[in-house]
Structure 1
């Protein structure tokens, strides 16, 4: 789809107009290729929006107006995940900024590069009870963002603008986390400092992460791999962008491998060495393989959090482990490991391939012919749609270019355990021939493992769809999540994005309900009202379909729905009695054994 036409003509006076701080900020975003800024406007951020309007007329970053600031942050996060660029979100002072915090925290804790920009009243109004004051003398949003960002600063003088925007962007790109800048409205309007003529020519280079590899550690890793008879690899989210390289290592060694839940979408599930997902909602084969005590375990880009380590299971966290990761914090969680290999996984893999002889080819141990499900599809026991069947239908009938996002809750569990697609990894030649470009660190299935807010996937799916316009996206969400942020589907409608929003409608907070049952806890607080989300969507101008049973599901034309230049909502009345594969989560909480 072509980019929408800017909504105004170029103003002749802009050619001689001096740049202000707001223009300087937006010029830096344009210089690094940011296409969209997601936000909700307000008085304390008006000069930034003025600068964005001027930028749009020059084909610069374009505004996407969310319906809630948290949704804006989720959209920016989804855009960053798919595009490989920095996601940018923006909000006014006070409640606009605090609404943004959950989405910013989500991006930061999930290692997504994001820049949040918030406004402030004019400096002279600080301490005088200005409307929505949120500086050091009001509701201190700068202090709040300190706890969920890695770079957090206020621009209090025009001369600070350039070094601070470069510092914020550099942090987000190099450390893959969130940065925050807050700017008083009068500073936004101030002239850019004297002598500023535009962003530095080497700005992109300043944002490029350094490729540092501990060569001694890689050589020791190579020696361990050559000695091992039955090595097993665990590929995590941080391996994105290096999976092809590590697959060469795995194949050269004849090794077996599993993935963490958030890395499932990086690999070809038909690979003969693949043994399924290890961790939350994972597969029995994966756990059995690690529990068989292979002589060497290699974890690549694994955060070692609760869901990626199966509740810190000692079948992974033990003395047979080699842990490869770019994040020191992740390495600190595997203190018992035999060897730590710090560095970008892609750089480690390239160096490792130099140390592993090409003629060293072991015969691979064959994987099981099919992944055994902890929750196999049972015969129907109710009139609703079994979630297992829903995932199977989505797997079989959505085009191979579809991106899936699953919201925290039972939808994530069902997707991790049951959603499968044929190999969708494309050669560079085929990609060029078909005009298809994909961020090599992107995954066809996106789920959250650490900070996991409900309704994240609704906004993030919009960002993903904008990053790859015209390519289909499926958002799997629950009725609880949809009631939190369902209004964001109107952004998908306004932008004409081919997204299917699949609402698992069971009139309950499903993970809470089933968690209480498994833990034999009091059944309380999980009930939700029965809502006809189809009628609600139609009131918002979005096409919708009610799927009451599996016959309705079988009749769906999923490829046709995803071929439209518009979103569709599926109100799927699921069988609420199907137990999701969430027992590991409860074991980690200590509520069930």
Structure 2
């Protein structure tokens, strides 16, 4: 539509209503945020949408929690998560959650308010434009697109551009900041000018020359293996079909573990932070002559501290993100493109006569034996009245149904979950002799059954994330695994789960310490300082917010839990689990990297 015609369009719709109309068009059901004066027109527009059965607001207790919720909503639904905040401190409070989404390549639309344009430069309350505390400049470093709307006729172009940047690789958050008066101005158009669904779909472009070269290398490889990263969710079905067709053993990165069934006999465990020795042994095996790393960012945790056992000329790095590929310059081949398209092509073109390794066809997966031994050796070392965190993870996996979403928070919680958590319904360590040599992998939901953060990894992410997951899909159980330090930092968000009547179980690993700090200091021989936390009754804190709270101090308390009854009860529940405070978490990789930097 020509600009001259746009400026004369007659409409009662405000810019805020136009924004909400676009969100409705792309299927967004909720907006996460904390209201305030400079963002009030957006909430007015959301109220109008809600009355007609459209978008609902979810009021977080802190803006960082809103960003964590939007992040997890994206992971669960595949739709873009939306969070908003008022100007000034509202916007700066969002930044931690936005930075986390940026480092983890999670699409997100971030909307912040500003005082009215005429007040810029006059020290308006919470002014955060270029003439105040410049939040636009702050967001520039943790978003894929960042812009101020200074005229209503800019709005559609900038919004569409932002959404496309958010959803195209490398994905990530985008930020628009809108002055109060602009948000209240009449829209230049009576309805959205663009249909966005087709424009936001992932592109299927691939480097066919590189795929052809990959097929040649794979055909001549004697013993190839796969490393499956956290960016493989869309393509996981084809990737696992490829592995099984050619009997290719595989490992996962920590953030890729939730995409596969751990009971698959081709699976060799987690490679990287808190991973399994069997996974590293596979990559170090001299007979392995080709490693296909798929959808891995090659950061510290996913590459096992940039280990030479992965980053060498055996490596073929397959990814849609040029940023990820830039971290493996030593690779024999880079294949860039949409992973689903690449593996669909490989399944059609790859040679059919790749001999399986003898160990691929039968036997108990080695990583599982390791995990089994660790769980029970750790338990036997505990005092009778203590709960080992490794055993806790084992029991939680048994208690909850297979479709449960687990979110593990930064700290020791994520380390224990990566190494020992298995979803319910799969073969358990005490039934290792019953593992089928012909088991097949059934991929779980696109976001995976276990979700965690890499790189930025803020404490408390899983608390808000569990709420965003449950908002996105209220039909499934959601379990947040968090430490007492994270819960003291972000536990107020439980009241959001209460208000929304969400079926979330918060599990607090209570050792009265910042556990990773405590054990890290001991492992490094550093001064033991600033890690202790006072005794806290988290069950009582949950009850004070309106949630159900249960204290678990002994293995007998754990055994008496009736998880089906808790899930049928509805609403959030917190399990305050007093774990063995001396159990050493599997954080050796982190200690090696910190030690190398000293």
TM range (shorter): over 0.9
Deviating more after overlay: 346-355 vs 81-90: 346-355
Contact 1:269/1:423, CA 8 A, preserved across alignment: no
Residue 190 in 1 paired to residue 188 in 2? no
Q: Which residue is equivalent to 1:181?
A: 176
Matched, 1:327 2:328: no
CA deviation after TM superposition for structure 1 residue 197, in Å: 3.0
Equivalent of 1:290 in 263, 283, 287: 283
Structure 1 residue ranges (4+ consecutive) displaced by more than 6 angstroms after TM superposition: none
Match of 1:259 among 252, 275, 282: 252
> In 2, distance between residues paired with 1:90 and 1:390?
37
Q: CA 1:106–1:439 in 2, change beyond 3 Å: closer, same or farther?
A: farther
TM-superposed deviation, 1:360 = 5.1
The aligned counterpart of 1:240 is 233
**Distance 1:90-1:204 versus aligned 2 partners, 3 A rule:** same
Partner of residue 518, structure 2: 513
1:312-391 correspondence to structure 2 within 5 Å? 312-358=306-352, 362=356, 365-366=359-360, 368-369=364-365, 370-373=368-371, 375-377=374-376, 378=378, 379-382=380-383, 383-391=385-393
Tell me if structure 1 keeps the 8 A contact 2:229–2:294: yes
Contact 1:375 1:581 in 2 (8 A): no
The residue aligned with 1:218 is: 211
Match of 1:135 in 2: 129
Q: Deviations over 1:238-284 (max 9, x none)?
A: 11111110112112221110000101011111111110000000001
1:167 paired to 2:161: yes
- Of 99, 113, 116 in structure 1, the residue corresponding to residue 110 of structure 2 is 116
Q: What's the secondary structure of 2:359's corresponding residue?
A: coil
**Relative to structure 1, is the Cα distance of residues 381 and 268 closer, same or farther in structure 2, using a 3 angstrom cutoff?**
closer
Query: Secondary structure of 1:133's match?
Result: coil
| Contact 2:401/2:424 (8 A) holds in 1 | no
CA distance in 2, matches of 1:134, 1:95: 9
The answer on whether the counterparts of 1:169 and 1:207 sit within 8 Å (CA) in structure 2 is yes
What's 1:13 paired with? none
- Distance of aligned partners of 1:536 and 1:384 in 2 relative to their CA distance in 1, 3 Å threshold: same
State whether structure 2 residue 559 is matched by structure 1 residue 554.
yes
Tell me, yes or no, if structure 1 residue 279 matches structure 2 residue 280.
Answer: no
Gaps of 5+ in 1: 1-15, 425-437
In 1, Cα distance between equivalents of 2:420 and 2:283: 21
Partner of 2:53: 59
SS at match of 1:203: coil
Go from structure 1 to structure 2 and tell me whether the alpha carbon gap of 1:314 and 1:445 turns closer, same or farther (over 3 Å shift).
Answer: same
CA drift of 1:17 comes to 7.0
What displacement does 1:353 show?
1.2
Given the superposition, is the C-alpha separation of residues 160 and 439 from structure 1 closer, same or farther in structure 2, using an over 3 Å criterion?
Answer: farther
In structure 2, what is the Cα distance between the partners aligned to 1:500 and 1:200? 43
- Comparing 242-251 with 254-263, greater Cα deviation is found at 242-251
Of 459, 464, 485, the match for 1:459: 464
Aligned equivalents of 1:372 and 1:403: distance in 2?
24
Corresponding residue of 1:23 = 17
Shift of 1:209: 2.1
2:3 aligns with: none
Deviation at 1:439, TM superposition (A): 8.8
- Contact 2:415 2:586 survives alignment (8 Å): yes
CA distance in 2, matches of 1:375, 1:520: 24
| Aligned-pair CA distance for 1:224 | 0.9
Structure 1 residue 380: Cα displacement: 4.3
Whether the aligned pair in 2 keeps the contact of 1:547 and 1:571 (CA below 8 Å) is yes
- For residues 573 and 358 of structure 2, what CA distance do their matches in structure 1 show? 44
2:408 — aligned with what?
Answer: 406
Deviations 1:537-592 (A, max 9, x none): 11111110000111100110122212332000011111100000001111012269
SS in 2 for 1:526: coil
Contact 1:120 1:133 survives alignment (8 Å):
yes
Instruction: Kindly report which structure 2 residues correspond to 1:149-164, keeping only aligned pairs within 5 A, or say none.
Output: 149-164=143-158
Describe the superposition over 1:42-96 as per-residue Cα deviations: whole angstroms up to 9, x where unpaired.
0000111100100111121110000000000000111000000000000000000
CA contact (8 A) 1:470 1:565 kept: no
| 305, 311, 318: which one aligns with 2:299 | 305
3-state SS of 1:365 partner: helix
1:318-364 deviation line (CA, Å, top 9, x unaligned): 00000000010100000000000001111110111121244656366
- Are 2:595 and 1:590 aligned? yes
Q: Which runs of 5+ in 2 are unaligned?
A: 1-9, 427-442
Cα distance in 2 for partners of 1:473, 1:259 equals: 23
CA–CA distance in structure 1, aligned partners of residues 569 and 11 of structure 2: 43
Q: Is the 8 A contact 1:33 1:85 kept in 2?
A: yes
> Does residue 103 of the first structure (1) align with residue 93 of the second (2)?
no
The 5 Å alignment of 1:196-207 reads: 196-207=189-200
Q: Which residue of 2 aligns with 1:535?
A: 540
Correspondence for 1:92? 86
- TM-score w.r.t. the length of structure 2 is 0.92
| Inter-partner Cα distance in structure 1 for 2:323 and 2:425 | 32
Matches of 2:140 and 2:597, distance apart in 1: 36
Alignment check: 8 A CA contact 1:39 1:91 kept: yes
- Is 284-293 or 365-374 further displaced after alignment? 365-374
Q: Which moved more, 1:97-106 or 1:244-253?
A: 244-253
Contact 2:219 2:351 in 1 (8 A): no
SS at 1:457's partner residue?
A: helix
Change (3 A) 1:390 1:376: closer
Distance in 2, matches of 1:231 and 1:154, equals 50
User: Which whole-Å CA distance do the structure 1 matches of 2:404 and 2:452 have between them?
Assistant: 15
**1:570 corresponding residue in structure 2:** 575
Q: In the aligned structure 1, how far is the partner of 2:445 from the partner of 2:195? A: 24
Contact map agreement 2:11 2:190 (CA 8 A) in 1:
no
In structure 1, what is the Cα distance between the partners aligned to 2:146 and 2:339? 28
Work out whether 1:470 is the aligned partner of 2:471: no
